[in-house]
Amino acid sequence: MEKSLDNFYLLQPEPNTFFLLALRDIILSKDKYITTSLKYGMPFFSYKGKTLCYFWFHKKYKKPYIGIVGGIHLNHPDLLI
């Protein structure tokens, strides 16, 4: 993992650091073709070079979330649009 990507995680307040690092490990463990990089100041995950999802913080609730690329096509009552 590159230095600036490490810094994104380490500069977050607890428990966000723990939560995001654990979630990163879970995502990366799902397939050997999933990679991570820092884009636009946030961690992005790609599958075979195609963007899959990213971590960011909800502006209103100040909570970390996973942004799903193409997530507009997901329909579930527990998801925020």
Q: Residue 13 carries which DSSP code?
A: P
* pTM exceeds 0.85, yes or no: no
- The 10s digit of each residue's pLDDT in 10-58 is 999 999 999 999 999 999 999 999 999 999 989 999 999 999 999 998 8
Q: Is the CA virtual torsion 35, 57, 81, 21 positive or negative?
A: positive
pLDDT of residue 2: 59
Structural domains present in the chain: 3-73 (3.90.1150)
pLDDT of residue 59: 85
Give the residue, 67 or 2, on which the prediction is more confident. 67
30-32-33-37 Cα dihedral, nearest 10 degrees: 80
Of 21, 46, 52, 50, the residue nearest 34 (C-alpha): 46
